[in-house]
Amino acid sequence: MMTKATTEDRQRLFASLTKSNNAGDLDRREFLALASILGLSAAVGPLCLPGAARAQTPKRGGILRVGQQILSTNDPRVFDWPQKSNVARQFCEPLVRWQPDGSFTPSLLESWEVSDDARTYTLRVRQNATWTNGDIFTADDVIFNIRRMADAAVEGNSMAARLVALRNGEEKTAADDAIVKIDDFTVQLNLRIADITLIPSFGDYPALCVHPSFPEGGDLAKAPIGTGAFELVFFDVGGKAVLKRRESGEWWGGEAFLDGIEFIDLGTDEAVFASAFDDGEIDMNDETSADFVTLLDATGLVRETALTATTMVARMNTQAAPFNDQRVRNAVQLAVDNAVVLDLGVAGLGSVGENHHVAPVHPEYAQIPKISPDPAKARALMAEAGHSDTELDLISLDQGWLATTSDAIAGQLRDAGIRVKRTVLPGSTFWNDWTKYPFSTTSWGARPLGVQIYALAYRSGEAWNESAHSNPDFDAKLEEALGIFDPDQRRPLMAEMQRMLQESGVIIQPYWNELIMHRVSAVQGYQRHPLREMHLEAVWLDR
Protein backbone atom coordinates (compact mmCIF):
# COMPACT_ATOMS: atom_id res chain seq x y z
CA MET A 1 0.00 0.00 0.00
CA MET A 2 1.39 3.38 -1.01
CA THR A 3 2.35 5.70 1.82
CA LYS A 4 1.12 9.27 1.39
CA ALA A 5 1.94 12.47 3.20
CA THR A 6 -0.56 15.14 4.16
CA THR A 7 0.41 18.80 4.39
CA GLU A 8 0.55 18.34 8.16
CA ASP A 9 2.79 15.30 7.64
CA ARG A 10 5.10 17.36 5.44
CA GLN A 11 5.28 20.09 8.05
CA ARG A 12 6.17 17.49 10.67
CA LEU A 13 8.74 16.01 8.31
CA PHE A 14 10.39 19.39 7.77
CA ALA A 15 10.45 19.97 11.52
CA SER A 16 11.89 16.48 12.01
CA LEU A 17 14.57 17.06 9.38
CA THR A 18 15.48 20.38 10.95
CA LYS A 19 15.69 18.81 14.41
CA SER A 20 17.82 15.94 13.10
CA ASN A 21 20.07 18.39 11.30
CA ASN A 22 20.51 20.49 14.43
CA ALA A 23 21.19 17.40 16.52
CA GLY A 24 23.79 16.14 14.11
CA ASP A 25 21.82 13.02 13.14
CA LEU A 26 21.28 14.38 9.62
CA ASP A 27 24.15 16.30 8.06
CA ARG A 28 23.72 19.53 6.15
CA ARG A 29 24.06 17.84 2.75
CA GLU A 30 21.26 15.38 3.52
CA PHE A 31 19.09 18.15 4.93
CA LEU A 32 19.53 20.39 1.87
CA ALA A 33 18.97 17.50 -0.53
CA LEU A 34 15.75 16.34 1.09
CA ALA A 35 14.36 19.84 1.62
CA SER A 36 15.03 21.00 -1.94
CA ILE A 37 13.89 17.76 -3.62
CA LEU A 38 10.53 17.79 -1.86
CA GLY A 39 9.96 21.52 -1.88
CA LEU A 40 9.85 21.63 1.92
CA SER A 41 12.01 24.73 2.21
CA ALA A 42 12.96 27.71 0.11
CA ALA A 43 16.03 28.20 2.27
CA VAL A 44 18.43 26.30 0.05
CA GLY A 45 21.63 27.63 -1.47
CA PRO A 46 21.32 29.77 -4.60
CA LEU A 47 22.69 28.72 -7.95
CA CYS A 48 26.30 29.83 -8.21
CA LEU A 49 26.32 32.14 -11.21
CA PRO A 50 28.49 35.02 -12.39
CA GLY A 51 27.75 37.99 -10.18
CA ALA A 52 27.42 36.01 -6.95
CA ALA A 53 29.42 37.23 -3.96
CA ARG A 54 33.09 36.16 -4.09
CA ALA A 55 36.23 36.77 -2.07
CA GLN A 56 38.00 37.93 -5.25
CA THR A 57 36.81 39.88 -8.25
CA PRO A 58 36.68 37.49 -11.23
CA LYS A 59 38.64 38.30 -14.35
CA ARG A 60 37.07 38.03 -17.77
CA GLY A 61 38.86 36.19 -20.54
CA GLY A 62 41.14 33.25 -21.21
CA ILE A 63 40.75 29.67 -22.40
CA LEU A 64 40.33 26.92 -19.81
CA ARG A 65 42.03 23.67 -20.87
CA VAL A 66 40.57 20.50 -19.38
CA GLY A 67 42.21 17.09 -19.64
CA GLN A 68 39.37 14.63 -20.15
CA GLN A 69 38.36 11.87 -22.53
CA ILE A 70 36.25 13.02 -25.47
CA LEU A 71 33.48 10.48 -25.93
CA SER A 72 30.59 10.61 -28.38
CA THR A 73 27.96 13.20 -27.48
CA ASN A 74 25.17 11.41 -29.39
CA ASP A 75 21.83 11.84 -27.57
CA PRO A 76 21.91 13.02 -23.92
CA ARG A 77 19.20 10.57 -22.80
CA VAL A 78 21.51 7.65 -23.66
CA PHE A 79 24.61 9.16 -22.06
CA ASP A 80 26.27 6.49 -19.94
CA TRP A 81 29.40 8.31 -18.73
CA PRO A 82 29.73 11.76 -17.10
CA GLN A 83 32.53 12.72 -19.50
CA LYS A 84 29.96 12.96 -22.30
CA SER A 85 27.81 15.37 -20.37
CA ASN A 86 30.73 17.54 -19.25
CA VAL A 87 31.17 18.76 -22.81
CA ALA A 88 27.46 18.88 -23.65
CA ARG A 89 26.50 20.61 -20.38
CA GLN A 90 28.35 23.75 -21.37
CA PHE A 91 25.78 24.47 -24.10
CA CYS A 92 22.81 22.26 -23.13
CA GLU A 93 21.22 22.47 -19.69
CA PRO A 94 19.01 20.38 -17.38
CA LEU A 95 15.75 21.46 -15.79
CA VAL A 96 17.35 21.48 -12.33
CA ARG A 97 20.90 21.30 -11.03
CA TRP A 98 22.35 19.10 -8.31
CA GLN A 99 24.71 21.34 -6.37
CA PRO A 100 27.94 20.25 -4.65
CA ASP A 101 26.32 21.06 -1.28
CA GLY A 102 23.64 18.42 -1.94
CA SER A 103 20.76 20.75 -2.75
CA PHE A 104 18.76 20.98 -5.98
CA THR A 105 18.36 24.42 -7.51
CA PRO A 106 16.47 25.70 -10.57
CA SER A 107 18.14 25.73 -13.97
CA LEU A 108 15.69 25.77 -16.90
CA LEU A 109 12.92 25.55 -14.35
CA GLU A 110 12.20 28.54 -12.16
CA SER A 111 10.62 26.51 -9.35
CA TRP A 112 8.56 23.40 -8.65
CA GLU A 113 5.88 22.20 -6.30
CA VAL A 114 5.25 18.64 -5.17
CA SER A 115 1.86 17.42 -4.00
CA ASP A 116 1.43 15.84 -0.59
CA ASP A 117 1.30 12.34 -2.10
CA ALA A 118 4.28 12.88 -4.46
CA ARG A 119 2.11 12.13 -7.49
CA THR A 120 1.55 15.63 -8.86
CA TYR A 121 4.45 17.91 -9.77
CA THR A 122 3.95 21.49 -10.93
CA LEU A 123 6.95 22.74 -12.91
CA ARG A 124 7.30 26.48 -13.44
CA VAL A 125 9.48 27.19 -16.47
CA ARG A 126 12.14 29.88 -16.56
CA GLN A 127 10.84 32.81 -18.63
CA ASN A 128 14.17 34.36 -19.66
CA ALA A 129 15.89 31.42 -21.35
CA THR A 130 16.46 31.32 -25.11
CA TRP A 131 17.97 28.79 -27.48
CA THR A 132 21.03 29.79 -29.47
CA ASN A 133 18.88 29.89 -32.63
CA GLY A 134 16.75 32.63 -31.05
CA ASP A 135 13.74 30.54 -30.00
CA ILE A 136 12.28 31.18 -26.55
CA PHE A 137 12.41 28.25 -24.12
CA THR A 138 8.82 27.45 -23.06
CA ALA A 139 6.61 24.79 -21.55
CA ASP A 140 6.47 23.11 -24.97
CA ASP A 141 10.22 22.50 -24.80
CA VAL A 142 9.88 20.99 -21.32
CA ILE A 143 7.10 18.68 -22.52
CA PHE A 144 9.10 17.66 -25.61
CA ASN A 145 12.13 16.78 -23.51
CA ILE A 146 10.31 14.94 -20.73
CA ARG A 147 8.39 12.84 -23.26
CA ARG A 148 11.57 11.84 -25.08
CA MET A 149 13.34 11.11 -21.78
CA ALA A 150 10.46 8.83 -20.74
CA ASP A 151 10.54 6.81 -23.99
CA ALA A 152 11.54 3.28 -22.96
CA ALA A 153 11.53 2.09 -26.58
CA VAL A 154 14.84 3.90 -27.20
CA GLU A 155 17.71 1.49 -26.65
CA GLY A 156 20.06 2.58 -23.88
CA ASN A 157 17.75 5.36 -22.65
CA SER A 158 18.44 5.24 -18.89
CA MET A 159 16.20 8.27 -18.31
CA ALA A 160 13.23 5.98 -18.98
CA ALA A 161 14.10 4.11 -15.78
CA ARG A 162 13.97 7.38 -13.87
CA LEU A 163 10.56 8.32 -15.30
CA VAL A 164 8.68 5.02 -14.94
CA ALA A 165 5.98 6.80 -12.95
CA LEU A 166 4.88 8.67 -16.09
CA ARG A 167 4.09 5.47 -17.97
CA ASN A 168 1.10 3.15 -17.61
CA GLY A 169 1.78 -0.54 -17.08
CA GLU A 170 3.89 -1.98 -19.87
CA GLU A 171 3.55 1.09 -22.09
CA LYS A 172 6.87 2.34 -23.48
CA THR A 173 5.96 6.03 -23.63
CA ALA A 174 4.53 8.54 -21.19
CA ALA A 175 0.75 8.49 -20.83
CA ASP A 176 -1.09 11.29 -22.65
CA ASP A 177 -2.41 12.76 -19.41
CA ALA A 178 0.88 12.35 -17.52
CA ILE A 179 2.41 15.56 -18.92
CA VAL A 180 0.02 18.48 -19.19
CA LYS A 181 0.63 22.03 -20.39
CA ILE A 182 -1.07 24.49 -18.03
CA ASP A 183 0.16 27.62 -19.82
CA ASP A 184 3.21 28.74 -21.80
CA PHE A 185 5.44 28.50 -18.74
CA THR A 186 3.79 25.88 -16.52
CA VAL A 187 3.75 22.10 -16.84
CA GLN A 188 1.94 19.61 -14.61
CA LEU A 189 3.14 16.02 -14.21
CA ASN A 190 0.57 13.43 -13.13
CA LEU A 191 2.32 10.31 -11.92
CA ARG A 192 0.86 6.81 -12.00
CA ILE A 193 2.68 6.02 -8.76
CA ALA A 194 4.33 8.25 -6.20
CA ASP A 195 7.99 9.04 -6.85
CA ILE A 196 10.11 11.25 -4.62
CA THR A 197 13.12 10.95 -6.96
CA LEU A 198 11.69 12.89 -9.89
CA ILE A 199 13.51 16.17 -9.17
CA PRO A 200 16.88 14.43 -8.65
CA SER A 201 16.26 12.58 -11.92
CA PHE A 202 15.84 15.86 -13.77
CA GLY A 203 19.23 16.89 -12.36
CA ASP A 204 21.10 13.74 -13.41
CA TYR A 205 23.68 14.00 -16.17
CA PRO A 206 21.65 12.32 -18.99
CA ALA A 207 18.80 14.82 -18.42
CA LEU A 208 20.14 17.65 -20.60
CA CYS A 209 17.47 19.36 -22.69
CA VAL A 210 17.71 19.48 -26.47
CA HIS A 211 15.94 21.72 -28.99
CA PRO A 212 12.68 20.36 -30.51
CA SER A 213 14.46 20.21 -33.88
CA PHE A 214 16.90 17.62 -32.52
CA PRO A 215 16.48 14.58 -34.78
CA GLU A 216 15.62 11.09 -33.56
CA GLY A 217 18.92 9.24 -33.20
CA GLY A 218 20.74 12.55 -33.55
CA ASP A 219 24.13 13.72 -32.31
CA LEU A 220 24.57 16.92 -30.29
CA ALA A 221 27.90 17.60 -31.98
CA LYS A 222 26.03 17.89 -35.29
CA ALA A 223 23.00 19.75 -33.90
CA PRO A 224 24.44 21.88 -31.06
CA ILE A 225 21.49 24.20 -30.40
CA GLY A 226 21.38 24.88 -26.67
CA THR A 227 20.40 27.29 -23.90
CA GLY A 228 23.73 27.37 -22.05
CA ALA A 229 26.51 29.88 -21.48
CA PHE A 230 28.75 28.51 -24.24
CA GLU A 231 28.51 27.40 -27.88
CA LEU A 232 30.16 24.33 -29.39
CA VAL A 233 32.73 25.23 -32.05
CA PHE A 234 34.58 21.98 -32.73
CA PHE A 235 34.20 18.36 -31.68
CA ASP A 236 36.38 15.32 -32.39
CA VAL A 237 35.86 12.02 -30.55
CA GLY A 238 39.16 10.99 -28.96
CA GLY A 239 40.68 14.35 -29.80
CA LYS A 240 39.37 17.73 -28.69
CA ALA A 241 36.17 19.66 -28.02
CA VAL A 242 36.24 23.45 -28.32
CA LEU A 243 33.64 25.86 -26.97
CA LYS A 244 33.38 29.64 -27.00
CA ARG A 245 31.44 32.09 -24.84
CA ARG A 246 27.90 32.35 -26.14
CA GLU A 247 27.45 34.96 -28.86
CA SER A 248 24.04 33.93 -30.24
CA GLY A 249 21.66 35.60 -27.83
CA GLU A 250 22.05 36.18 -24.12
CA TRP A 251 22.36 33.42 -21.58
CA TRP A 252 19.70 33.66 -18.85
CA GLY A 253 22.40 33.52 -16.13
CA GLY A 254 24.33 36.55 -17.37
CA GLU A 255 27.63 35.95 -19.13
CA ALA A 256 30.41 33.43 -18.62
CA PHE A 257 33.81 34.78 -17.59
CA LEU A 258 35.87 32.49 -19.82
CA ASP A 259 36.38 33.26 -23.49
CA GLY A 260 36.23 29.55 -24.12
CA ILE A 261 36.95 25.99 -23.03
CA GLU A 262 39.04 23.25 -24.60
CA PHE A 263 38.51 19.64 -23.55
CA ILE A 264 41.61 17.66 -24.53
CA ASP A 265 41.64 13.85 -24.71
CA LEU A 266 44.87 12.50 -23.25
CA GLY A 267 43.77 8.88 -23.08
CA THR A 268 43.66 6.89 -19.84
CA ASP A 269 47.37 6.86 -18.86
CA GLU A 270 47.60 9.24 -15.90
CA ALA A 271 51.35 9.63 -16.37
CA VAL A 272 50.43 11.52 -19.55
CA PHE A 273 48.17 13.82 -17.52
CA ALA A 274 50.99 14.48 -15.06
CA SER A 275 53.29 15.43 -17.93
CA ALA A 276 50.61 17.65 -19.46
CA PHE A 277 50.27 19.54 -16.16
CA ASP A 278 54.05 19.84 -15.93
CA ASP A 279 54.30 21.17 -19.50
CA GLY A 280 51.46 23.67 -18.96
CA GLU A 281 49.22 22.00 -21.53
CA ILE A 282 46.16 21.60 -19.26
CA ASP A 283 44.70 23.60 -16.36
CA MET A 284 42.63 20.84 -14.74
CA ASN A 285 41.77 17.18 -15.10
CA ASP A 286 38.54 15.25 -14.73
CA GLU A 287 39.70 12.72 -12.16
CA THR A 288 42.84 11.70 -10.28
CA SER A 289 43.27 8.09 -9.24
CA ALA A 290 44.73 7.12 -5.87
CA ASP A 291 48.05 6.15 -7.47
CA PHE A 292 48.69 9.72 -8.66
CA VAL A 293 47.25 11.84 -5.86
CA THR A 294 50.54 12.19 -3.96
CA LEU A 295 52.50 12.92 -7.15
CA LEU A 296 50.14 15.69 -8.31
CA ASP A 297 49.90 17.13 -4.79
CA ALA A 298 53.71 17.40 -4.70
CA THR A 299 53.81 19.47 -7.89
CA GLY A 300 51.86 22.28 -6.23
CA LEU A 301 48.56 21.58 -7.94
CA VAL A 302 45.35 22.22 -5.99
CA ARG A 303 43.48 19.07 -4.99
CA GLU A 304 39.67 19.18 -5.07
CA THR A 305 37.74 16.40 -3.34
CA ALA A 306 34.03 15.66 -3.23
CA LEU A 307 32.44 13.64 -0.43
CA THR A 308 30.30 11.23 -2.37
CA ALA A 309 28.61 7.88 -2.74
CA THR A 310 30.84 7.16 -5.73
CA THR A 311 31.85 3.54 -6.02
CA MET A 312 32.68 0.67 -8.34
CA VAL A 313 31.09 -2.73 -8.59
CA ALA A 314 32.31 -6.08 -9.83
CA ARG A 315 29.01 -7.38 -11.09
CA MET A 316 27.99 -10.79 -12.34
CA ASN A 317 25.39 -11.03 -15.09
CA THR A 318 22.70 -13.42 -13.89
CA GLN A 319 21.79 -14.32 -17.48
CA ALA A 320 25.30 -15.55 -18.35
CA ALA A 321 26.77 -18.88 -17.22
CA PRO A 322 28.15 -19.67 -14.71
CA PHE A 323 26.72 -16.59 -12.95
CA ASN A 324 23.15 -17.74 -13.52
CA ASP A 325 23.89 -20.00 -10.53
CA GLN A 326 23.54 -18.08 -7.26
CA ARG A 327 26.04 -20.41 -5.57
CA VAL A 328 28.75 -19.19 -7.94
CA ARG A 329 27.87 -15.55 -7.30
CA ASN A 330 27.86 -16.06 -3.54
CA ALA A 331 31.19 -17.89 -3.76
CA VAL A 332 32.81 -15.01 -5.65
CA GLN A 333 31.48 -12.56 -3.06
CA LEU A 334 32.70 -14.66 -0.11
CA ALA A 335 36.20 -14.97 -1.62
CA VAL A 336 36.80 -11.22 -1.50
CA ASP A 337 37.73 -9.11 1.54
CA ASN A 338 36.46 -5.62 0.77
CA ALA A 339 38.81 -3.97 3.26
CA VAL A 340 41.81 -5.44 1.44
CA VAL A 341 40.41 -4.30 -1.92
CA LEU A 342 39.99 -0.77 -0.54
CA ASP A 343 43.67 -0.67 0.43
CA LEU A 344 44.98 -2.23 -2.77
CA GLY A 345 42.57 -0.59 -5.19
CA VAL A 346 42.51 3.04 -4.03
CA ALA A 347 45.21 3.17 -1.33
CA GLY A 348 42.58 3.25 1.39
CA LEU A 349 41.11 6.59 0.19
CA GLY A 350 37.51 5.77 1.05
CA SER A 351 35.41 3.52 3.26
CA VAL A 352 34.54 -0.18 3.07
CA GLY A 353 31.42 -1.17 1.12
CA GLU A 354 28.89 -3.82 2.11
CA ASN A 355 27.90 -5.38 -1.24
CA HIS A 356 24.46 -3.74 -1.43
CA HIS A 357 25.22 -0.37 -3.12
CA VAL A 358 23.64 1.92 -0.53
CA ALA A 359 26.04 4.25 1.25
CA PRO A 360 26.05 5.49 4.85
CA VAL A 361 25.70 9.03 3.42
CA HIS A 362 22.30 8.15 1.95
CA PRO A 363 19.56 9.36 4.31
CA GLU A 364 17.65 6.04 4.20
CA TYR A 365 20.73 3.79 4.66
CA ALA A 366 20.02 0.87 6.97
CA GLN A 367 22.60 -0.96 9.04
CA ILE A 368 22.36 -4.66 8.29
CA PRO A 369 24.73 -7.55 9.10
CA LYS A 370 27.83 -7.54 6.93
CA ILE A 371 28.97 -10.56 4.97
CA SER A 372 32.41 -11.61 6.18
CA PRO A 373 34.88 -13.13 3.71
CA ASP A 374 35.05 -16.92 3.89
CA PRO A 375 37.38 -18.46 1.27
CA ALA A 376 36.74 -22.02 2.49
CA LYS A 377 32.98 -21.63 2.06
CA ALA A 378 33.59 -20.00 -1.32
CA ARG A 379 35.51 -23.06 -2.52
CA ALA A 380 32.80 -25.37 -1.18
CA LEU A 381 30.07 -23.45 -3.04
CA MET A 382 32.03 -23.55 -6.30
CA ALA A 383 32.43 -27.33 -5.87
CA GLU A 384 28.74 -27.77 -5.06
CA ALA A 385 27.85 -25.83 -8.21
CA GLY A 386 30.20 -27.99 -10.29
CA HIS A 387 32.52 -25.11 -11.16
CA SER A 388 35.69 -25.88 -9.20
CA ASP A 389 37.68 -25.95 -12.45
CA THR A 390 35.78 -23.19 -14.25
CA GLU A 391 37.89 -20.15 -15.14
CA LEU A 392 36.14 -16.83 -14.59
CA ASP A 393 37.07 -13.92 -16.84
CA LEU A 394 37.04 -10.57 -15.00
CA ILE A 395 36.84 -7.73 -17.55
CA SER A 396 37.74 -4.13 -16.78
CA LEU A 397 38.61 -0.82 -18.34
CA ASP A 398 42.34 -0.10 -18.65
CA GLN A 399 41.96 2.97 -16.46
CA GLY A 400 43.39 3.90 -13.06
CA TRP A 401 41.51 2.73 -10.01
CA LEU A 402 39.12 0.51 -11.96
CA ALA A 403 42.02 -1.54 -13.29
CA THR A 404 43.91 -1.72 -9.98
CA THR A 405 40.76 -2.62 -8.06
CA SER A 406 39.92 -5.33 -10.58
CA ASP A 407 43.45 -6.71 -10.17
CA ALA A 408 42.96 -6.76 -6.40
CA ILE A 409 39.65 -8.65 -6.72
CA ALA A 410 41.20 -11.15 -9.13
CA GLY A 411 44.07 -11.71 -6.71
CA GLN A 412 41.68 -12.41 -3.86
CA LEU A 413 39.75 -14.90 -5.99
CA ARG A 414 42.96 -16.74 -6.87
CA ASP A 415 44.00 -16.81 -3.22
CA ALA A 416 40.66 -18.47 -2.43
CA GLY A 417 41.33 -21.17 -5.02
CA ILE A 418 38.99 -19.83 -7.71
CA ARG A 419 40.43 -19.80 -11.22
CA VAL A 420 40.27 -16.35 -12.80
CA LYS A 421 41.86 -14.49 -15.66
CA ARG A 422 41.94 -10.76 -16.30
CA THR A 423 40.86 -9.07 -19.51
CA VAL A 424 41.73 -5.38 -19.72
CA LEU A 425 40.08 -3.38 -22.51
CA PRO A 426 40.57 0.16 -23.83
CA GLY A 427 37.63 2.48 -23.38
CA SER A 428 36.81 2.45 -27.10
CA THR A 429 36.11 -1.28 -26.80
CA PHE A 430 34.85 -1.59 -23.23
CA TRP A 431 32.10 1.04 -23.48
CA ASN A 432 30.48 -0.56 -26.52
CA ASP A 433 29.17 -3.51 -24.51
CA TRP A 434 29.59 -2.53 -20.86
CA THR A 435 26.16 -3.84 -19.81
CA LYS A 436 26.60 -7.24 -21.49
CA TYR A 437 29.80 -8.75 -20.08
CA PRO A 438 29.37 -11.86 -17.87
CA PHE A 439 31.76 -10.54 -15.19
CA SER A 440 33.14 -7.01 -15.22
CA THR A 441 33.79 -3.90 -13.15
CA THR A 442 32.23 -0.49 -13.68
CA SER A 443 32.24 2.80 -11.83
CA TRP A 444 29.02 4.23 -10.44
CA GLY A 445 28.58 7.90 -9.69
CA ALA A 446 26.90 9.22 -6.59
CA ARG A 447 23.17 9.87 -6.34
CA PRO A 448 21.57 11.72 -3.41
CA LEU A 449 19.11 8.94 -2.54
CA GLY A 450 19.66 5.21 -2.20
CA VAL A 451 16.32 4.47 -3.86
CA GLN A 452 17.56 6.27 -6.98
CA ILE A 453 20.44 3.83 -7.34
CA TYR A 454 18.14 0.86 -6.88
CA ALA A 455 15.71 2.18 -9.51
CA LEU A 456 18.54 2.74 -11.99
CA ALA A 457 20.69 -0.32 -11.46
CA TYR A 458 18.68 -3.15 -9.91
CA ARG A 459 15.03 -2.83 -10.92
CA SER A 460 14.04 -5.53 -13.41
CA GLY A 461 14.59 -4.74 -17.07
CA GLU A 462 16.15 -1.28 -16.80
CA ALA A 463 18.78 -0.07 -19.28
CA TRP A 464 21.53 0.28 -16.65
CA ASN A 465 20.72 -3.00 -14.87
CA GLU A 466 24.05 -4.51 -15.92
CA SER A 467 23.74 -7.51 -13.58
CA ALA A 468 20.29 -8.39 -15.01
CA HIS A 469 19.11 -8.55 -11.40
CA SER A 470 15.40 -9.41 -11.36
CA ASN A 471 13.34 -9.95 -8.23
CA PRO A 472 9.60 -9.12 -8.18
CA ASP A 473 9.65 -8.75 -4.38
CA PHE A 474 12.54 -6.28 -4.64
CA ASP A 475 10.71 -4.32 -7.36
CA ALA A 476 7.51 -4.15 -5.26
CA LYS A 477 9.33 -2.90 -2.18
CA LEU A 478 11.20 -0.35 -4.30
CA GLU A 479 7.95 0.97 -5.74
CA GLU A 480 6.60 1.39 -2.23
CA ALA A 481 9.78 3.09 -1.00
CA LEU A 482 9.70 5.57 -3.89
CA GLY A 483 6.45 6.95 -2.48
CA ILE A 484 7.65 7.57 1.07
CA PHE A 485 8.84 11.08 1.95
CA ASP A 486 10.40 10.42 5.34
CA PRO A 487 13.78 8.59 5.17
CA ASP A 488 13.15 7.12 8.62
CA GLN A 489 9.98 5.49 7.28
CA ARG A 490 11.77 4.32 4.12
CA ARG A 491 14.61 2.73 6.10
CA PRO A 492 12.85 -0.57 7.04
CA LEU A 493 12.08 -1.18 3.36
CA MET A 494 15.62 -0.22 2.44
CA ALA A 495 16.95 -2.73 4.98
CA GLU A 496 14.95 -5.49 3.28
CA MET A 497 16.13 -4.47 -0.19
CA GLN A 498 19.76 -4.16 0.92
CA ARG A 499 19.57 -7.67 2.36
CA MET A 500 17.94 -9.04 -0.82
CA LEU A 501 20.62 -7.54 -3.04
CA GLN A 502 23.42 -8.62 -0.74
CA GLU A 503 22.16 -12.21 -0.55
CA SER A 504 21.64 -12.42 -4.33
CA GLY A 505 25.42 -12.15 -4.75
CA VAL A 506 25.15 -10.12 -7.96
CA ILE A 507 27.83 -7.61 -6.94
CA ILE A 508 31.04 -7.14 -5.06
CA GLN A 509 30.82 -3.49 -4.03
CA PRO A 510 34.09 -3.09 -2.15
CA TYR A 511 34.26 0.56 -1.17
CA TRP A 512 33.01 4.12 -1.33
CA ASN A 513 35.85 6.22 -2.70
CA GLU A 514 36.79 9.86 -2.57
CA LEU A 515 36.28 11.71 -5.84
CA ILE A 516 39.51 13.62 -6.46
CA MET A 517 40.72 15.93 -9.23
CA HIS A 518 43.50 18.51 -9.59
CA ARG A 519 43.75 22.00 -11.01
CA VAL A 520 46.31 24.77 -11.32
CA SER A 521 45.93 27.61 -8.82
CA ALA A 522 44.91 30.01 -11.62
CA VAL A 523 41.57 28.18 -11.98
CA GLN A 524 39.11 29.97 -9.70
CA GLY A 525 35.42 29.49 -8.93
CA TYR A 526 35.46 25.73 -9.44
CA GLN A 527 33.92 23.20 -7.05
CA ARG A 528 34.29 19.45 -7.31
CA HIS A 529 30.89 17.86 -7.97
CA PRO A 530 29.74 14.56 -6.41
CA LEU A 531 28.93 13.16 -9.87
CA ARG A 532 32.00 14.53 -11.70
CA GLU A 533 29.85 17.18 -13.35
CA MET A 534 31.73 20.25 -14.57
CA HIS A 535 29.83 23.51 -14.25
CA LEU A 536 32.14 26.09 -15.81
CA GLU A 537 30.05 29.21 -16.46
CA ALA A 538 31.25 30.74 -13.15
CA VAL A 539 34.88 29.61 -13.47
CA TRP A 540 37.57 32.21 -14.24
CA LEU A 541 41.33 32.33 -14.70
CA ASP A 542 43.61 34.40 -12.48
CA ARG A 543 46.62 34.87 -14.76
Residues 6+ apart with CB under 8 A from 441: 312, 313, 314, 315, 394, 395, 396, 397, 402, 405, 406, 409
pLDDT tens-digit map of 345-374: 988 888 999 999 999 989 899 999 998 999
Confidence (pLDDT) at 446 = 83
What is the chain's mean pLDDT, rounded?
Answer: 90
State which of 157, 173, 202 marks the end of a domain: 202
Q: How many domains is the chain built from? A: 2
User: What's the half-sphere exposure (Cβ side, CA atoms, 13 Å) at 152?
Assistant: 20
Residue 404 domain-assigned (yes or no): yes
| Model confidence, pTM | 0.81
Does 492 sit behind a cis peptide bond, omega within 30 degrees of 0 on the bond before it? no
Residue 521 domain-assigned (yes or no): no
Confidence (pLDDT) at 306 = 79
Residue 246 domain-assigned (yes or no): no
Confidence (pLDDT) at 169 = 84
Confidence (pLDDT) at 239 = 96
State which of 180, 202, 224 marks the end of a domain: 202
Residue 475 domain-assigned (yes or no): yes
Residue 414 domain-assigned (yes or no): yes
Which ranges constitute the DSSP H helices of 61-213? 82-88, 139-149, 159-162, 198-202
CATH number of the domain within which 395 lies:
3.10.105.10
Confidence (pLDDT) at 305 = 87
pLDDT tens-digit map of 296-329: 999 999 999 876 688 999 999 999 999 999 999 9
pLDDT tens-digit map of 129-143: 999 999 999 999 999
Per-residue CA distances from 136 to 125, 142, 251 (Å) = 11, 12, 11
State which of 183, 202, 221 marks the end of a domain: 202
CATH number of the domain within which 20 lies:
3.90.76.10
Dist CA 287 CA 284 (whole Å): 9
Confidence (pLDDT) at 530 = 82
389: domain range? 311-513
197 and 327 both lie in a single domain: no
- Parts of the chain with a pLDDT under 50: 1-6, 41-53
Residue 276 domain-assigned (yes or no): no
Confidence (pLDDT) at 522 = 97
Residue 393 domain-assigned (yes or no): yes
Confidence (pLDDT) at 23 = 52
With b meaning 16 or more CB within 10 Å and e meaning fewer, what string describes 209-221? bbbeebeeeeebb
Dist CA 164 CA 422 (whole Å): 37
Confidence (pLDDT) at 428 = 75
Residue 262 domain-assigned (yes or no): no
Confidence (pLDDT) at 2 = 32
Confidence (pLDDT) at 25 = 53
